[in-house]
Structure formats: structure tokens, C-alpha cells
DNA sequence: GGCTCTAGGATAGAAGCACTATCCAGTGGT
DNA sequence: ACCACTGGATAGTGCTTCTATCCTAGAGCC
């Protein structure tokens, strides 16, 4: 198919497709002649990937470029998934070493949970984030890390066994990125509900206690 | 103090302060004369709040305006905290009723966890998000909600009992917003690490199985 | 009374992002 | 022959968050 048809099929304007081509998100079509190019279904699926990463996950052009570049370079799938995780959860764009105390929260968590002691982006990001929290005056105790990681261990355990990865690379990135993002948001929303619920319960208890004076 | 001193103390440029004044984030100082105004320490603390909400939490001017307006209107603290939660966790900016099936994920969760059955923003946001996930082809089973909410119940339980709220309103919003944001991000990062850890473990098991052929 | 500094108001510019639009000249297909 | 469509280039748009400039009127100081 050619550009116009690609545009009509995917619902992306021709101008935008040109933009993505310029930006290197979409590989050039097969140039039949100087003024004619053919696009494959691969292009359509790539376009859908771009679309989803922009509108659903909210990545920037730059981030999408990084991901599709990896895909086009044919890096191993595990590596690709790691990159998706980095990007979707904003584990990139970390200051990476503002000095300070090592903080090594990752070590503590890994030991607490008996997780494999392997360096990873997620671990670096955790260290950086904990350091950031401390520097902003929000203390992170080992007890907190223990409670949090124990709970999330259960979630991850469940998630990982409910996962099947598609063959096609575009689709792999798509499902991985969208899934991670949506599940992450789901966690945040459930946490909000949980906190609200606990707050209400606590508030009610306090009110009850005030009515019937404390017996301490 | 006057504008320049306010600027020097908080590290916010005079131009930015003027901008915030125009935008209604910062209340006008006490106008001593036509060309002179006095700012109180309240202004400094408000400015710090604005600063933190922008750079740490990443709110927009519009969102900050909404929050400080509530603070200035002196709404009850519980209501204020609810608004902070809405804003920080992006529970605002939801489509609010794109029709479709009711989905009522909130009901299910509340029943599963035995949480108080009270309508709330968090619950609406959860419903909306689950509906969105479904519409994007990501299934949300009751079993998943059960596993997630059980884990987050534990976290919320721990959080709520480790909380003390400051008296000053600016400070209240600041600590609440920053705390919510950072704890949310912490959860996401820990989840990433947990998933990566489980993936590694699973990968190793698979590899081991391949070496010593399965005995099923 | 002059000099310098500052407030406050207005307006314009700047920078980043993701497009969107326009113009162009060269074909491919009918 | 003709017209739709092409790649390539370049410029403009809309939004957000500032930042800079210019102005006048008044305050404090000598």
C-alpha cells in the first residue's frame, strides 16, 4: 500500500506519518521509484504501536524512538522488555549518581525478599528514588521497604505467571508497554482506594472513641 | 518583606513570582502603597508549596491553582486531602462516563476486601480505569483485583498508621502531595524490581528445566 | 529637590513539544 | 496528457511555563 492508504487504514494523518518518518519512528517504505513508495502491514503495526505509546502510555517521541530503534536493531527480547520497563516506568531520566550516600535500598529489599541478587535498572532506579525521597525529607525505613516489597512480591508473582508474549516485535512492545502502564496505574488507583478506605475506617473509629471516652 | 527579598529567600525569580501572582497561585501581598507591597512568611511557604508541586510532583499551574484555591477557601482538611489525592494520582482528568458497561470494579474490590462501602473519587477512578483497560483489550479479572487489592490493603494499612498531618495548610498540602507522589512512585519502582526478579527466577528455572529434560 | 531603587501592570519573547500545513517538482497509472 | 500522489523541505500552530523588557509612580535617602 502507499502512504495515503496507510493513513486511511490507521487513522493517522498523512502529515503525521511524514513526521514520524522524519523522526525515524517509522522506517521508510520500499522506494519503488523516486516518487513512489510501498508500505507493508509491518508499517501499519508499527504505526499502531507509535499511536498507543503516545496516546495510551504517554511516551515522548524521543522515548518511542529509542524503543523502536532497539526493535529494529533486533536486540534480544529480554533486553527489549527491560528497555520497555525502563521507559514506561520512567526508570530512565534518573539523575544517575548525584553522589550522596549510596543508600543501597535495593540491597536491603533483595535480601529481605530473597530475590536473586542481580544488578538491574529497576534496582538502580529504586536506589535513586529512595535517595531522592530521603533528600526531600521523606524517610524510607527498612520496615517500610519490607512491608511494601512483601505486598508487591505477591502481585509480581501473580502477574508473571499470567503472561504470554506475542511473537511479532511491534506487538510485543505494544502489549508489554500498555500492560505495564495500565497495571501500574491500576496499582496506584487501588492504593488510593485502599488508603481512602483505611482513612475512613480510622476516622470512624476515632469518632467512636471520642463519643465513648477512651479507657486507657 | 517585599518582593525582592521574597525572591531571594525562596530562590524563585522575581519574574516567576509575578507570574504566579498573575496566575492567582500566590495571593497578593499587603499593598502598603501604590508601589510597595509587603509579603508575609505565609507567602514564602506558599511559594515553597508551588515550587514543590511543580518540580517534585509535576502538577500543572492549573492543578496547583485548584488546590491552593481550596486551601484559601478554607475547606475542611479531609476534603482538602481528598482533592490532593485526586490531583496527585491523576484521578481528575478522567473521562467521567464514556457510557459502556458499568463495570463496577470498585464494588467488587470493596466487597472482596471488606472495605467500607462509601462512594469516593478513588472508587470512581478505579471503575473508570478498569473500564479503560477492558476497552483497550487488557482483561481485568476478579482474581486479579483480589490479588492486587489484598497486597495494597497491607500497604495502606501500614501507611495510614504512620501518618501525622501538619497544622499549617500549605505544609499539609505539601507533605500530603509530596508523600503521596513519592510513595506511589516507590510502589511502582518496587513493583518493577519485583517483576524483574520474578522474571529472572522464572527464566533460570526454565533454563534449568531445558538442561535437565522435564519429567512430566 | 534630586537620585536611585522598587512595585506593579502590561506586553512580548523564548523554549520545548508534537504536530499540521504549504509548497514543490517529479513521476505512475489510466 | 493529465491528475493524484510522492518524498523532501520549510514554516507555522497551539499549548505551557516561564523570562525579559518597558513603563510610571512613588519611597527613602542625601
Write out pLDDT tens, residues B51-102.
999 999 999 999 999 999 999 998 998 899 999 999 998 877 766 555 555 6
| pLDDT band at residue A207 using 50, 70 and 90 as cut-offs | confident
At B99 the pLDDT is 52
- Decide if A136 is inside a domain: yes
At B162 the pLDDT is 76
- Decide if A39 is inside a domain: no
| Position B49 pLDDT exceeds 90 | yes
Strand D, nucleotides < 7 Å from a protein CB: these are 5-10, 16-21, 24-27
Whole-number distance in Å between B48 CA and C13 C1': 27
Chain A nearest-CA residue for B156: A195
| Position A79 pLDDT exceeds 70 | yes
Q: Spell out residues with C-beta < 7 A from strand C.
A: A 13, 15-16, 18-19, 32-36, 54, 60-62; B 2-4, 14, 18, 21-22, 28-29, 31, 35-37
Assess A57–B contact: CB distance below 8 Å, yes or no. Answer: no
| Position A214 pLDDT exceeds 80 | no
| SS3 label, residue B33 | strand
At A99 the pLDDT is 52
Number of domains within chain A: 1
B154:A156 CB<8 A: no
> How far is A161 from A152, CA to CA, in rounded Å?
14
> How far is B209 from B27, CA to CA, in rounded Å?
67
Tell me what the mean pLDDT of segment B184-205 comes to. Answer: 89
- The percentage of residues in chain A with a pLDDT greater than 90, rounded to a whole number, is 62
* Most confident segment among A180-184, B94-98, B212-216: A180-184
State the smallest CA–CA distance between residue A26 and chain B in angstroms: 23
User: Which cell numbers hold the place of B67?
Assistant: 488546590
Domain that holds residue A178: 55-211
- Decide if A9 is inside a domain: no
- Considering only residues B34 and A58, tell me which one the structure prediction assigns the higher pLDDT: A58
Tell me what the mean pLDDT of segment A164-176 comes to. Answer: 90
Q: What is the mean pLDDT of chain A?
A: 88
- Decide if B43 is inside a domain: no
At B30 the pLDDT is 86
- Decide if B5 is inside a domain: no
CA separation (Å) from B19 to B13, B26, B28, B60?
A: 10, 9, 12, 14
Q: What is the mean pLDDT of chain B?
A: 88
Tell me what the mean pLDDT of segment B24-36 comes to. Answer: 87
- Which helix (H) or strand (E) covers residue B123, if one does? helix B121-135
- The percentage of residues in chain A with a pLDDT greater than 70, rounded to a whole number, is 93
Tell me what the mean pLDDT of segment A32-54 comes to. Answer: 91
B155:A199 CB<8 A: no
At B149 the pLDDT is 96
At B216 the pLDDT is 44
> How far is B108 from B144, CA to CA, in rounded Å?
11
Tell me what the mean pLDDT of segment A142-159 comes to. Answer: 93
- Decide if B122 is inside a domain: yes
At B110 the pLDDT is 95
- Decide if B25 is inside a domain: no
CA separation (Å) from A201 to A205, B152, B157, B160, B161?
A: 6, 16, 11, 10, 12
Tell me what the mean pLDDT of segment A133-145 comes to. Answer: 92
| Position B25 pLDDT exceeds 90 | yes
At A34 the pLDDT is 78
Tell me what the mean pLDDT of segment A62-67 comes to. Answer: 95
Contact A67, A84 (CB under 8 A): yes
Chain A nearest-CA residue for B180: A192
B193:A115 CB<8 A: yes
At A96 the pLDDT is 56
| pLDDT band at residue A213 using 50, 70 and 90 as cut-offs | low
At B103 the pLDDT is 63
- Which helix (H) or strand (E) covers residue B173, if one does? helix B169-211
At A84 the pLDDT is 94
| Position A13 pLDDT exceeds 70 | yes
Nucleotide nearest to B12 (CA to C1'): D18
- Decide if B190 is inside a domain: yes
Contact A110, A117 (CB under 8 A): yes
B195:A156 CB<8 A: yes
| pLDDT band at residue A163 using 50, 70 and 90 as cut-offs | confident
Amino acid at each position: 500500500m502507499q502512504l495515503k492508504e496507510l493513513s486511511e487504514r490507521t487513522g493517522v494523518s498523512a502529515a503525521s506519518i511524514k513526521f514520524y518518518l522524519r523522526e525515524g519512528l517509522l522506517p521508510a517504505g520500499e522506494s519503488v521509484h523516486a516518487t513512489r513508495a510501498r508500505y507493508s502491514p509491518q508499517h501499519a503495526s508499527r504505526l499502531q504501536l507509535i499511536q498507543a505509546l503516545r496516546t495510551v502510555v504517554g511516551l515522548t517521541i524521543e522515548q518511542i524512538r529509542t524503543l523502536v530503534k532497539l526493535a529494529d536493531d533486533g536486540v534480544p527480547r529480554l533486553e527489549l522488555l527491560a528497555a520497555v520497563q525502563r521507559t514506561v516506568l520512567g526508570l530512565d531520566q534518573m539523575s544517575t549518581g548525584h553522589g550522596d550516600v549510596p543508600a543501597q535500598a535495593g540491597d536491603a529489599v533483595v535480601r529481605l525478599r530473597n530475590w536473586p541478587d542481580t544488578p538491574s535498572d529497576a534496582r538502580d532506579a529504586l536506589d535513586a528514588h529512595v535517595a531522592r525521597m530521603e533528600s526531600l525529607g521523606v524517610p524510607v525505613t527498612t520496615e517500610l521497604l519490607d512491608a511494601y516489597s512483601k505486598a508487591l512480591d505477591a502481585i509480581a508473582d501473580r502477574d508473571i505467571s499470567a503472561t504470554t508474549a506475542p511473537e511479532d516485535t511491534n506487538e510485543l512492545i505494544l502489549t508489554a508497554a500498555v500492560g505495564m502502564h495500565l497495571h501500574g496505574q491500576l496499582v496506584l488507583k487501588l492504593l488510593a482506594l485502599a488508603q481512602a478506605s483505611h482513612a475512613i475506617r480510622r476516622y470512624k473509629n476515632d469518632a467512636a472513641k471520642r463519643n465513648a471516652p477512651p479507657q486507657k
